[in-house]
Structure 1
């Protein structure tokens, strides 16, 4: 039996994304935890937290939900309580990942734009507290998703498959919950990141003009400015992470808004809306793999650590052969 082209793409894309996502996020976590990338402890804590959240996103959706659905349709993963748990994990990990990106963006905003608050807020302890709080809240607000489904059928007292309850579409409580969820993830984070970046850019441009004017008066404009260099590195990292998030989530946000306005909730595989929905989801999940690539491109020390990590297995093999 042949599959529509979009399903064929999905069957290839999600397993490849899963392998790549697990590899790059585990690699990022290991390298960042070694603490040799020249980043502050505060930034390192956020980046490790974000990489861990992205890893969980990859495990929850591309692996447990998508790949299992395509290649293991009759597995124990389709027992109703299990697949309900998978749905819960998909939404929970997405919420946590998105809001950790917002938290990191806000931390960098405080560092650059709020000098008085910087010393108290931008610390390793605060970063760990924020990550813990976001994780707990993300799990809490996603609990209702576990109760969205009911069994499709029961065999030997074992409930199988997850189908959406009829009350999900008829209940005002469910409707309110879904609207609140969509507003909180991804609409509010999307616009918060955009706003914080705009405010940060404005502050940077103003501060750069002042420093340049002062240095021009001292006729040292050809000298390197360490403050500007450090700020530039921080900004490149911030804008790369938040910029990729905005670009990869943009289609998802627009499609969310369209579906709510048009009140479109389901469509066949052959419908162009299915293709749009699938493409938006692919791009959104790709955002869980991009941060590690961004670190490699923008951070020279991280890049060196990646090279060393990739060379280590070959060096070990050489030593074993020589011994």
Structure 2
């Protein structure tokens, strides 16, 4: 019963993440949230990558597996492609978060480089490059599986090859992949955030001193408020990423050290794995919630989007 309840919660989360990310893409693409074009492109790219994660990992890989076990999706080449897409989408999503964090670091800490780097062209190129590299890096995952059985010369289902657990080549690739995603992103995001906040706090102290407001904290300073919002937005996006991925990373390291390759649904490890997976997937729809809380114009656009069907229905009824 517990495993069924966990499955139901995770499935509900899967389907909720899809409209959340679609809503974020539509609203941000309209360009009415008061954000620069550069930031907007990054946020749209991150939302699109998160949407792909939700479609590939939970829907195609888990939900189809649970509810449609005998569909064509379980022909070996097809389920291998789905498995490959899961890793590709995850890599792209994680590294776009790093790209956004680095862009904000340059914008705040490197004024000389800001005009050349923080542009729409650079953002578009970085998203394209990350997508291509994510595709290439994840390609070996396609070859992890072999057919469980063959019926009328058609290979069915995907089971992990024995060589995956015994080959030093596979072991090296897995270590490289885990370091690449998400260990290195963890380190880079923490480092860039610390440097960015340090620069903002230093600039804020200098600004207060120049304006003679050291003893007048209650006076409004639009520039200071903008910087505070920048810190909150940056820390919220990157901080939620780290917190929601942490359990998945720790559990993966534990499995590798303990050499645990499988477990039953009644095993406590199943609950741990499911919880870690749910938290990781939750990171694919938290950004929209963060925008809603922090950005007033984004909140207004969300309200407009929610009201639009009702307003349209009212107009149709009147006509």
Give the alignment's TM-score, normalised by structure 1: 0.95
Partner of 1:122: 118
Say which of 234, 244, 269 aligns to 1:238.
234
Structure 2 gaps, min length 5? none
- Structure 1 residue 45, shift from structure 2 partner: 0.2
Alignment partners' CA distance in 2, 1:271 and 1:195? 38
Say which of 115, 137, 148 aligns to 1:152.
148
Say which of 1, 5, 16 aligns to 2:2.
5
Q: Deviations over 1:193-232 (max 9, x none)?
A: 1121112121122111111111127987654323222222
1:14 maps onto 2:10 in alignment: yes
Q: Deviations over 1:117-155 (max 9, x none)?
A: 111111111111110000000000000000100000011
Alignment partners' CA distance in 2, 1:66 and 1:124? 36
Partner of 2:86: 90
Partner of 1:226: 222
Partner of 2:105: 109
Give the match's secondary structure for 2:155. Answer: strand
Q: Which shifted more, 141-150 or 10-19?
A: 10-19
Say which of 183, 187, 190 aligns to 1:191.
187
Count of aligned residue pairs for this structure pair: 319
Alignment partners' CA distance in 2, 1:206 and 1:104? 22
Alignment partners' CA distance in 2, 1:120 and 1:261? 45
Partner of 2:212: 216
Alignment partners' CA distance in 1, 2:217 and 2:240? 33
Partner of 1:32: 28
Q: Deviations over 1:29-69 (max 9, x none)?
A: 11111100000001000000000000000100111011111
Q: Is the 8 A contact 2:208 2:214 kept in 1?
A: no
Give the match's secondary structure for 2:150. Answer: strand
- Structure 1 residue 258, shift from structure 2 partner: 2.2
Alignment partners' CA distance in 2, 1:225 and 1:217? 10
Q: Is the 8 A contact 2:21 2:288 kept in 1?
A: yes
Say which of 272, 276, 286 aligns to 1:280.
276
Alignment partners' CA distance in 1, 2:214 and 2:9? 57
Tell me which stretches of 4 or more aligned residues in structure 1 moved more than 6 Å. Answer: 217-220
Alignment partners' CA distance in 1, 2:199 and 2:253? 31
Structure 1 gaps, min length 5? none
Q: Is the 8 A contact 1:24 1:292 kept in 2?
A: yes
- Structure 1 residue 79, shift from structure 2 partner: 0.7
1:312 maps onto 2:317 in alignment: no
Q: Deviations over 1:50-100 (max 9, x none)?
A: 000000001001110111111111111111111101100100000000000
Query: Equivalences for 1:158-177 in 2 at 5 Å?
Result: 158-177=154-173
- Structure 1 residue 174, shift from structure 2 partner: 0.7
Question: CA RMSD for the aligned pairs?
Answer: 1.6
1:63 maps onto 2:59 in alignment: yes
